[in-house]
Amino acid sequence: MLDTPAMQVVFTLPSELTQIWRMKKQVVADALFRASNDSLLKLLADPQFLGAQPGILAALHTWSQTMSAHPHFHYIINSEGWLLTKRWRHPHENAFCLAKS
């Protein structure tokens, strides 16, 4: 267990790209990882959300529960982060709420 509040985010390859996945697994996995990781870091660096760099752990899963091809990354993200000023940032309320009410 992490000794910090955390959340899980999942990025899934669209089913329309499964055939490409079967032909070029490493290329597609690398592209999905880069796109999802860069998106998370950019979003969480925004002061509207976390405004810092969080700790992130990623795991690639390539199959669904029914054993069909279903490439996706699970990310575990702590809800605190490191600022460029070498300080630890605690999240503000609703730091991870992406939808506005």
**Res 99: pLDDT:** 46
Q: What are phi and psi of 21, to 5 degrees?
A: -55, -45
Lowest-confidence pick of 23-27, 29-33, 65-69, 93-97: 93-97
- Rounded to two decimals, the pTM is 0.73
What pLDDT, in 10s, does the model give residues 54-77? 888 899 888 777 777 888 999 988
Mean pLDDT over 1-14 rounds to: 79
Q: Which residues contact 28 (CB under 8 A, 6 or more apart)?
A: 13, 17, 20, 21, 71
Q: What residue ranges do the domains of the chain occupy?
A: 6-89
27-36, 41-50, 53-62, 89-98: range with lowest mean pLDDT: 89-98
31 and 77 Cβ atoms separated by less than 8 Å: no
